[in-house]
Amino acid sequence: MYGPAIAALARRNPNAAPLLAHLTASHTLVEDAAKIAALAGVKTLVLNHLMPSDDATLIDADWIAAARPHYAGEIIVARDLMEMVLG
């Protein structure tokens, strides 16, 4: 999840309380995902199932900027139908 955008999502949603409860119980903030990846020693962090999914103002650079202070490796922001070719 991208925290600032989740706050904006809650402000525009009449069912904000249950929505926020669901999101925080079943999703991970991008910063926390980056910290976990760093601790696990992974080579590439792939962010997927991005929340909120309806915010067209969020670009890949936003996700990467949120993760970068916590993870030094490669970061990929995955999108639906994206494919990777492994070398």
pTM: 0.85
List pLDDT tens digits, range 26-38: 999 999 999 999 9
CA distance 74 to 80: 19
> What are the domain boundaries of the chain?
3-77
User: For residue 35, which amino acid is it?
Assistant: K
Residue-wise pLDDT for 55-87, tens only, equals: 889 999 999 999 999 999 999 999 877 787 766
Give the largest CA-CA distance in the chain.
Answer: 47
Of the candidates 6, 69, 75, the residue with the CA atom closest to the CA atom of residue 47: 75
- Mapping DSSP onto H, E and C, the string for 34-85 reads HHHHHHHCCCEEEECCCCCCCCCCCCHHHHHHHHHHHCCCEEEECCCCCCCC
